[in-house]
Chain A
Amino acid sequence: MATPLTFQDITLSLLRYWSRMGCVIQQPYDVEVGAGTMHPETFLRVLGPEPYRVAYIQPSRRPADGRYGDNPNRVQKHYQLQVILKPSAADVQDLYLASLKAVGIDLRQHDLRFEEDNWESPTLGAWGIGWQILLDGLEITQFTYFQQAGGIDLQPISAEITYGLERLATFIANVDSIYDIPWSPSVTYGEVRQQEEVEFSRYNFEEASREPLFEAFKAYEAESGKALVAGLVLPAYDYCLKCSHTFNLMDARGFISVTERVGIIGRVRKLACAIAEAYLESRKAMGYPLCKAAPDRGHRNKASRLPDAEMAPKLP
């Protein structure tokens, strides 16, 4: 039996595969985000008529998911590999399945299922329809046809494919814990990341301090609004993302009551929606530069993601 792919082999193979499928290979966004969807290459690019294909890895931070490095499957930061096809392709499911072959998975040996899982991000005013994709009961991918982002109806529809890289790698390496994933042939995932998990779990759950975070949230919110007024959409979005992450951190720390939660989510959404509008306007003013270069790929259009940290409050 061949040596299973390492974590870095998997990410490289997938990016190479999607590069062959015509994607721009982007880099992770350098602001803390809860999901690859929040990268401007997804949240903003799916707006408006311009076609786009992009793939990138996005470290995604969800403070509440921290487990002090103990749980074999949950971490406060994980890596998503995010693909956007805009418009979606008629054979997008097949493209996805072929990507699994590209990382050495023989589907004939496994139990593959597409189970209903619609995505909604109250903070981003975004939602879509899709599935979680299960391989032998393990959710390895979230697949979404984006319907709305920033409160704006989308046309064309984008397909979003979000691989949970740790999940996929535990599957491929046939290990019980993500910490046992071979990151490279000689170093494990745990050796690379465990200290980070322990320290951030402690910080997120025990040490993060209340007032400075609330103040930071307010400051980021104000800065985002200010940038927006100045017509600077992308800087405004950076601060919106910072608000979202600060909120997640405060939430994990238990600083936010359910009552406040709804209000804060509403404030971030308001920013996100205003930014989406402004972004669309800016692209329009530029004459939708990517429209003219669009090659005819002969596809019907379509769209996708992973659940955000700031899901709607799950109250009965």
Chain B
Amino acid sequence: MSEFLLEIGCEEIPAGMLEPAIGHLRDNVVKELQAAAVPFGAITTYYTPRRMALVIDEIAVKQPDRTETLVGPPKSVSYDKEGRFTKAALAFAERNKVALKAICVTTTPRGEYLAVEKKTKGAKTARLLSGILPQVIRAIPFTKSMYWTDDKFRFARPIQWIVALLDGRVIPFTIAGVAAGARTSGHRVLGRKNLPVANAAEYVDILKKNFVIVDPAVRRRIIVEGLAVEHLGGSVRPDPDLLDIVVNLNEFPSVIFGHFDEAFLKLPQEVLVTVMRSHQKYFSVVGPQKEMRPYFLTVINTNGDGQGVIRLGHQRVLRARLADAQFFWETDTKRSLLERKADLDHVTFQAKLGTYGDKTARLEAVSAMIADNLKCSAEEKSHLKQAASLAKVDLTTEMVKEFTDLQGIMGGLYARAEMQPEAVWQAVYDHYQPKKLDEPSPRSIIGAVLALTDKMDSIVGCFEAGLIPTGTRDPFALRRQGNGVIKILLDGQIKLSLTRLIQLAWMALANQGKVTADRRDNHPQLASFFESRLRYILEARGFHYDEINAVINVGAGDKPYEALSRTEALSRIRREEDFLAIAAAFKRIKNILRDQPVVDAPLVNVSLLDEAAEKELFALYENTHPQIKTLVDTLDYYAALKQTAAMRQAVDHFFDMVLVMSEDSQLRQNRIHLLRNIASLFMQVADISEIVVAPK
């Protein structure tokens, strides 16, 4: 058994591209080795900005030898009358380069045939790898790649060296003019170049001696330990996304802290955090009350900062950045949001959907109607109106032009600085929320309404403008906004239907002439778009696909909050024995009904109820029906399902005692009507026939 090491040395690869790239490389190597039937053990991957590497343990030195039986012509045509080989037989031997005496006869299901056993010696792994490696390296996909040599080869950044060693021997191949060899390179400044590597076993250590921590998990640990500061009167503000980035931005990380002028603490925390994070990739430090401390933490790509010069450099840069942010704040606050509002008429939202001025008018109109629907108070409505009119104004500010991530947030902060009511500035502040599923929805009902209105306007508008997300293409992040809509409805327990929201958004667009009346037919596409968003969110919350199907099948997906309640109830009750039995019984009912013509109002004729079991079932139905209805109306879906499950005995008894398909057509029809009523009762909460009953 051998050990294999591959390292692709590159100019600095962007942090976000490393993990996906190494994953692809690894998967493709596995696939190719498996296809070549080369046995191998564990694969370990490593990477830094300047290299991607993988080590394969216990890889076989060669493919196993193979023996295959090659079947030739039928025996009947292979010998002449004298028992000598015919031309067909000779041609077979020649084609496969075997001596005549190697030919034997084999019996197949189709009769007797000539055959030879052909042995193929397994190829050497080294030879296989020299074919596989250039191919798998070429196949690594990057979100953005470049040319740099004459040959038409693209990669994230130029390849500088390649190490490919099988038990210390170089696997020869060349890619983009770089020949694989046995030399790597250490840290750009601290390490050695042209560093010989003898084998895979010493790879990690050799790099460590040359100031490269090649294992990202180790770099992460070093950084996390470095961020655990105690002497700055606070602790690091957690930022997992930033942590992921800095782990992959350094070969030899250490953490240092720096200080900034306390005068900058007058800037809002959001601004300070963003200035530090977005340009400089600094972590902020917060005190016990989550207040900002005048410090930052940064991960440097070198062996500490003994002289403290690096800290001084970073402090100086941050001071200039903060001075800039202060300049933006001061410039922006020279004009009030209200004064700026007219500027929105010159900011395009989308070519077909008009300016942000147009969008603002729609937000004002639609949010007011949603507020009516939700029976908001007069005060809430007036705050909402104000928030809607100011929501987009921050797009004209210098701060948002510089830090796009702060859109909405800045509007809220500027509104607060103008002494707008808390309800107003908070609604503006929150209205892009939630951008991710783990982010909170807007904190107030008017924030929720504003956020819903804004997202619905973008989604419906973009669908109408033909900008429908497909595959991986979703330039307007409509899926994310769709998730936001669903999440807000769920979090706020808002019982509005999507149909209603779509209609309101659409009407506002139509009133401005942005969409034409004959495009109403787009709504089915929107419905299925939102259905898939709802499915996605319910799955993310851990519900099973069959539960989600059962709820969506009864058309409950249009009201996401109710859909969630139904799914919860279903998920809770499905473990109960009665329920599983009734689900099975319901499947049986559906099977019977499947072949029967649908009747609009299947009336059961009491006088035609013949058997005791069917009378009993009908009586139970009559009794239960209004109860379930009431429970469903009050959204008590669990109790409704419980009631449904309680019918189990009567249903089972009915099937035991009564023959639905009676010879008497009147009796038969009446029984089918009865079952149809039962079925529609069972569908009140969810299509429970969808529930997959796990075998015990």
B209 within 8 A of A: no
Q: A114-B12, A115-B249 are in contact. Are A136 and B148 (CB under 8 A)?
A: no
What are the residues of chain A within 8 A of B503 when measuring CB–CB?
none
Interface residues of B in 289-314 (CB under 8 A from A): 298, 300-302, 305, 307, 309-310, 312-314
B536 within 8 A of A: no
B324 and A73 form a contact (CB under 8 A): yes
B346 and A258 form a contact (CB under 8 A): yes
What are the residues of chain A within 8 A of B355 when measuring CB–CB?
259
Q: List 22 A-B contacts (CB under 8 A).
A: A71-B324, A90-B158, A90-B177, A107-B189, A108-B302, A109-B309, A110-B313, A129-B144, A131-B12, A136-B317, A145-B158, A147-B147, A157-B149, A171-B313, A257-B347, A258-B347, A259-B346, A300-B150, A302-B148, A302-B149, A316-B404, A316-B407
Bound CA span A113–B251, Å: 10
What are the residues of chain B within 8 A of A70 when measuring CB–CB?
327
Cβ distance A116 to chain B, nearest Cβ, rounded Å: 4
B316 and A129 form a contact (CB under 8 A): no
What are the residues of chain B within 8 A of A157 when measuring CB–CB?
146-149
Bound CA span A260–B355, Å: 12
Q: A72-B323, A145-B146 are in contact. Are A257 and B310 (CB under 8 A)?
A: no
What are the residues of chain B within 8 A of A212 when measuring CB–CB?
none
A110 and B309 form a contact (CB under 8 A): yes
Bound CA span A155–B348, Å: 37
**How many residues from B make CB contacts under 8 Å with A?**
52
Cβ distance A40 to chain B, nearest Cβ, rounded Å: 23
* Residues on B facing A (Cβ under 8 Å): 11-12, 14-15, 49, 144-150, 157-158, 160, 177, 188-190, 249-250, 280, 298, 300-302, 305, 307, 309-310, 312-314, 316-320, 323-324, 327, 343, 346-348, 355, 395, 400-402, 404, 407
What are the residues of chain A within 8 A of B147 when measuring CB–CB?
145, 147, 155, 157
What are the residues of chain A within 8 A of B310 when measuring CB–CB?
109-111, 136
Which of B14, B395, B404 has the most chain A CB atoms closer than 10 A to its own CB? B14
Interface size class of A (residues with CB under 8 A): 35 or more
A112 and B302 form a contact (CB under 8 A): yes
Partner of B280, one of A74, A137, A170, A171: A137
A315 and B320 form a contact (CB under 8 A): no
B148 and A300 form a contact (CB under 8 A): yes
Partner of B320, one of A71, A257, A300: A71
Cβ distance B404 to chain A, nearest Cβ, rounded Å: 5
B348 and A259 form a contact (CB under 8 A): yes
Which of A71, A114, A155, A260 has the most chain B CB atoms closer than 10 A to its own CB? A114
Cβ distance A119 to chain B, nearest Cβ, rounded Å: 12
Interface residues of A in 293-316 (CB under 8 A from B): 300-303, 314-316
What are the residues of chain B within 8 A of A71 when measuring CB–CB?
320, 323-324, 327
B347 and A259 form a contact (CB under 8 A): yes
A111 and B313 form a contact (CB under 8 A): yes
Known: A73-B320, A136-B309, A314-B402; 9 extra A-B contacts, CB below 8 A, are A90-B177, A108-B190, A110-B310, A114-B11, A118-B144, A135-B313, A137-B280, A262-B348, A300-B150
A206 within 8 A of B: no
What are the residues of chain B within 8 A of A111 when measuring CB–CB?
300-302, 305, 310, 313-314
Interface residues of A in 92-118 (CB under 8 A from B): 93, 97, 107-116, 118
A280 within 8 A of B: no
What are the residues of chain A within 8 A of B302 when measuring CB–CB?
108, 110-112
Bound CA span A137–B312, Å: 10
Cβ distance B341 to chain A, nearest Cβ, rounded Å: 14
What are the residues of chain A within 8 A of B12 when measuring CB–CB?
113-116, 131
Cβ distance A266 to chain B, nearest Cβ, rounded Å: 13
Bound CA span A155–B318, Å: 39
What are the residues of chain B within 8 A of A72 when measuring CB–CB?
319-320, 323
A204 within 8 A of B: no
Cβ distance A189 to chain B, nearest Cβ, rounded Å: 15
A88 within 8 A of B: yes
Partner of B319, one of A67, A112, A131, A176: A176
B15 and A314 form a contact (CB under 8 A): no
Which are the 7 A-B pairs with shortest beta-carbon distances? A136-B313, A257-B346, A73-B320, A116-B14, A114-B12, A129-B146, A111-B300
A314 and B249 form a contact (CB under 8 A): no
Bound CA span A155–B300, Å: 36
Cβ distance A190 to chain B, nearest Cβ, rounded Å: 15
A138 within 8 A of B: yes
What are the residues of chain B within 8 A of A260 when measuring CB–CB?
346
What are the residues of chain A within 8 A of B250 when measuring CB–CB?
113
Which residue on A lies nearest to B309, using beta carbons? A109
Cβ distance A252 to chain B, nearest Cβ, rounded Å: 11
Cβ distance B369 to chain A, nearest Cβ, rounded Å: 25
Partner of B395, one of A136, A155, A262, A315: A315
A137 and B313 form a contact (CB under 8 A): yes
Interface residues of A in 253-279 (CB under 8 A from B): 257-260, 262
Cβ distance A202 to chain B, nearest Cβ, rounded Å: 14
Which residue on A lies nearest to B345, using beta carbons? A257
A109 and B307 form a contact (CB under 8 A): yes
Partner of B327, one of A67, A113, A138, A315: A67
Which residue on A lies nearest to B311, using beta carbons? A136
Q: A118-B144, A137-B317 are in contact. Are A113 and B249 (CB under 8 A)?
A: yes
Interface residues of A in 152-188 (CB under 8 A from B): 155-157, 170-171, 174, 176
Bound CA span A90–B160, Å: 8
Bound CA span A158–B11, Å: 16
Q: A112-B188, A257-B346, A262-B348 are in contact. Are A88 and B317 (CB under 8 A)?
A: no
Cβ distance A294 to chain B, nearest Cβ, rounded Å: 14
Bound CA span A157–B307, Å: 40
Cβ distance A96 to chain B, nearest Cβ, rounded Å: 11
Bound CA span A93–B407, Å: 37
Cβ distance A168 to chain B, nearest Cβ, rounded Å: 12
Bound CA span A108–B302, Å: 8
Cβ distance B246 to chain A, nearest Cβ, rounded Å: 10
Cβ distance A307 to chain B, nearest Cβ, rounded Å: 12
What are the residues of chain A within 8 A of B318 when measuring CB–CB?
137
B313 and A93 form a contact (CB under 8 A): no
Q: A129-B157, A137-B280, A262-B348 are in contact. Are A156 and B309 (CB under 8 A)?
A: no
Bound CA span A196–B69, Å: 88
Bound CA span A25–B320, Å: 32
Interface flags for A72-97 (1: CB within 8 Å of B; 0: not) read: 11100000000000001010010001
Which residue on A lies nearest to B343, using beta carbons? A257
B324 and A74 form a contact (CB under 8 A): yes
B309 and A302 form a contact (CB under 8 A): no
Cβ distance A304 to chain B, nearest Cβ, rounded Å: 11
A301 and B148 form a contact (CB under 8 A): yes
B301 and A176 form a contact (CB under 8 A): no
Which residue on A lies nearest to B17, using beta carbons? A116
What are the residues of chain B within 8 A of A107 when measuring CB–CB?
189
Which residue on A lies nearest to B156, using beta carbons? A129
What are the residues of chain A within 8 A of B148 when measuring CB–CB?
88, 145, 157, 300-303
Cβ distance B411 to chain A, nearest Cβ, rounded Å: 12
Cβ distance B408 to chain A, nearest Cβ, rounded Å: 9
Cβ distance B305 to chain A, nearest Cβ, rounded Å: 8
Bound CA span A207–B135, Å: 61
